[in-house]
Amino acid sequence: EPEVTQTPSHQVTQMGQEVILRCVPISNHLYFYWYRQILGQKVEFLVSFYNNEISEKSEIFDDQFSVERPDGSNFTLKIRSTKLEDSAMYFCASSETSDNEQFFGPGTRLTVL
């Protein structure tokens, strides 16, 4: 069964450093999303992406964040200068259409020291 994959599973970084989280969505999907879950808190929407541009973003997704689909398979989330409060699980999701059946990846745990 096709699935969303994410790498790395765990990323540790120093405050102020740049990180890139990688996702490979399901191959025939056209809509891509990033969510995050701070430990003990709810899953929060960050950004949606379609047709090579951002469709919607939350107030969490400030200028420190960017997304890119550099090729036909990868979807990346970049955090330019990490802060302690960026420590969270980051989930990538994809869907075939905009009918909201989003399939989630296993997540990348980001720890900012």
Partner 1 sequence: QKEVEQDPGPLSVPEGAIVSLNCTYSNSAFQYFMWYRQYSRKGPELLMYTYSSGNKEDGRFTAQVDKSSKYISLFIRDSQPSDSATYLCAMSELSEDDKIIFGKGTRLHILP
For partner 1, the binding residues (CB under 8 A) are 4, 31, 33, 35, 41-45, 48, 50, 55-56, 58, 91, 98, 100-107, 109
Neighbouring CB atoms inside 10 A of 66's CB total: 14
CB nearer to partner 1: pick between 44 and 66? 44
**Of 17 and 98, which has the nearer Cβ to partner 1?**
98
**Whole-angstrom distance, CA of residue 82 vs CA of residue 86:** 6
Report which of 36, 72, 70, 66 is spatially closest to residue 54, judged by C-alpha positions. Answer: 66
- Beta carbon of residue 22, minimum distance to partner 1 (angstroms, whole number): 15
Say which DSSP state 41 is in.
S
Quote the least distance from Cβ 73 to partner 1, whole Å.
19
9 or 14: CB nearest partner 1: 9
Number of CB atoms found within 10 A of residue 49's CB: 22
